[in-house]
Amino acid sequence: MPRVLIAAPASGSGKTLITCGILQALVDRGLKVSSFKCGPDYIDPMFHSRVIGTRSKNLDAFFVGPDTLRYLFARTASETDISVIEGVMGYYDGLAADCSKASSSEVALITKTPTILLIDCKGASVSVLATLKGFLEFNDNTIKGVIFNRMSERVFDAIKPKAEAMGVKVIGYVPKVTDLILESRHLGLVLPSEIDSLKEKLHKLAEVLEESLDIDLLIELASAAPDLEIKEPQVPYVGNVRIGFAEDEAFCFTYVDNIELLHRCGAEIVPFSPIHDEKIPDVDGLVFSGGYPELHGKAIEANKSMRDSVLQALRDGMPCMAECGGFMYLHRKVEDGEGEMHDMCGFFDKDVYNTRKLTRFGYIKLEACEGMLPEGTLMKGHEFHYWDSEDSGSDWRASKPSGKEYRCIHDTGSMIAGFPHLYYYSNPEVAAGFLRKALEYKRR
């Protein structure tokens, strides 16, 4: 499984832009490519898959242990010619200010992936060698190559021999490409569908990188990655149930591995659009993932037949999993970015409002206290939202890596709904428990 990880000393170094350009260059060469994003981010994998056409997923060492992480990687990577993993934050940055747990470096070590360090060289020349030397000598790592970003060809020619003397492969440099920068918004990059001429931009970027990077050397480095020992995790099989999965421009934040785990447990996934379809499909349960309902309030409000269909199904006891944007959809009203309120489903007789600040952010461990799952069931997830509810729920316990604890999530026995994004592979029994409720509903 040829593979490389693109890491950087810090956020804002150009990882996503350069990773997208490398992926496009590999695809343009006719290679079958898979891509991964370290950490819980949804939008970067969406870019990789929807715009470039690669199979893209998340790799997160907080959510799952080493064996499961290797399995999730290998299941996709083994079907392609080469895999590119995009790092998160700085290479060694993890759960806390003083540890590298769940960092890009930990993912690289677990998956034995050669790392290419991307160094932003704006305003520096010889000093970038000190940065490189420090990263090579700090802690265990898999750094085997380097790319110098925002560096001129003249400076690169002078720096390259000194970098090679440190024992790393110098993949090349990236000149300043201001016309190819990707835009962003509060949850990360703007969605792929919103970028004008994005495909054209990435093809141009790939052409630039073919000139300034040694893509053949990158492939050679990826091909030198060692074999991995893979152990498939055990997943409970529940039975044949149909699960309606909300999927459109408003509901698009979904971990692909969550869907695949539901498949493994016996579910048939039936996509539907809360914006465009008239009513929910003929299903035994519903899943509403996160997304941007606040950006599509008018369209959601206009589709009254769908909202009524969802409300009736939930009142009839149809099992449901809803998180973040999907949870917002189940409220009475949601405020948009301009302060206008829009009608939602109304299952929760509360409103969602714009706090205009990051309300909650980061990894959490969750414990079910009562409801759909046995008391004490553990789960891992992530929160990142600027909007908040008048009642975010209190049926589960949440704890952050810092030790801070709080209550969250509504658990009615047939529904789990709240702001946390859940990662099903952190405890497959959570997905299985939901499907068991769906099976009971089907039999009724």
Active site residues: 324
CA angle 124, 128, 134 (to 5 degrees): 145
- The upper half-sphere exposure of residue 436, i.e. CA atoms within 13 Å in the direction of its Cβ, equals 12
Q: Determine contact, residues 362/282, Cβ cutoff 8 Å.
A: no
Cα(192)–Cα(174) distance, integer angstroms: 23
Strand locations in 309-425 (E) = 320-323, 333-335, 341-343, 351-354, 360-368, 378-385, 387-389, 396-399, 405-408, 410-411, 415-418, 421-422
Q: Determine contact, residues 205/170, Cβ cutoff 8 Å.
A: no
Cα(253)–Cα(59) distance, integer angstroms: 15
CA-based nearest residue to 39, from 126, 97, 100: 100
Q: Phi and psi for 5 in degrees, rounded to 5?
A: -120, 130
Cα(94)–Cα(57) distance, integer angstroms: 19
CA-based nearest residue to 371, from 396, 388, 342: 396
Cα(270)–Cα(246) distance, integer angstroms: 9
Cα(261)–Cα(257) distance, integer angstroms: 6
DSSP assignment of 240-278? -EEEEEE-SSSEEE--HHHHHHHHHTTEEEEEE-TTT-S
Q: Determine contact, residues 250/298, Cβ cutoff 8 Å.
A: no
- Collapsing DSSP to helix, strand or coil, 126 comes out as coil
